Amino acid sequence: MCRLGRIPDLADRHVIITGGSSGIGLALVRRVCGLGAKVSVVALDDEDLARLRASPPPGRHPLHLAPADVADREQAYAAIASCLERHGPADVLVTCAGVVHPGYFEELPDAVFERDMAIDYLGTLWCIRGVLPGMLERSSGTIVCISSFAGLVGVFGMGAYCPPKYAVRGLCETLRVELKPRGIHVAGVYPTDVDTPGLAAELPQHPPEQDAMQGKIRPISPEVVVDAILDGIARRRKRIYPGRWTFLLARLA
């Protein structure tokens, strides 16, 4: 559970945020720009990125934008290389890029399962591999991956979403054990529903059983997740649970 009050010193530190043009990622971009960080955004070259390019948040350093589909390994590697060239070695990587396609398991097309795994899991993996050599060289760095409460427990209607989020959780746990002795902090983030444009697009696709099971849990704001991420970085937490409900549900899971 996030305890408010701790903010990491990110002034002049290079923070790379994937999926930083909307939702949680955009809220995080705005916050860390305000903290004086050198911020790089890796995101799809779409309308959201165009809006961010046209109206970047105020900050001490110019915002660097690296358009890419992180599901494509070569695009992900090239985007990370662009970030490192612009702002230097990465001090923090936060992987926010993700998609969700709810529906009955037997009705979802094969391509949905492939796309969800490619973006949510492999997109996370490629970006970590892009920044890791520099972090290992300096024996320093923080990697934060957005998983989900659906990476802790199975959720009705999320047959395409839960598996990659479980994979992200497993990746975080494995890398934490492997990289902690080498000076690198790794954390997973496990929010419930977050009030973002992505959630608004997702809700009409929910099977009715899913709505009945989740309907009483109110979405949390992206800012609550950002508060928890920053607190988790400052406290070097291995698991970050934004909001009181998330913490309690995680304990039950």
Return the beta strands (E) in 180-236 as ranges.
184-189
d(CA 71, CA 113): 13
Give 176's Cβ-side CA count (13 Å radius).
15
d(CA 36, CA 31): 9
40 given a catalytic annotation: no
180 given a catalytic annotation: no
The one catalytic residue among 165, 166, 190, 241: 165
* 160 beta partners: none
| Residues 6+ away with beta carbon under 8 Å from 50 | none
The one catalytic residue among 38, 40, 148, 161: 161
147 given a catalytic annotation: yes
* Structural Rg of the chain based on CA atoms: 17
d(CA 193, CA 199): 7
Burial category of 14 from C-beta neighbours within 10 Å (exposed 0-12, middle 13-18, buried 19 and up): buried
The one catalytic residue among 21, 22, 40, 147: 147
> Which residue carries 């949390």 as its tokens?
220
Pair 171, 145: CB distance under 8 Å:
yes
Closest of 230, 192, 185 to residue 30, by C-alpha:
230
Closest of 34, 168, 46 to residue 98, by C-alpha:
168
Q: Which residues are catalytic?
A: 147, 161, 165
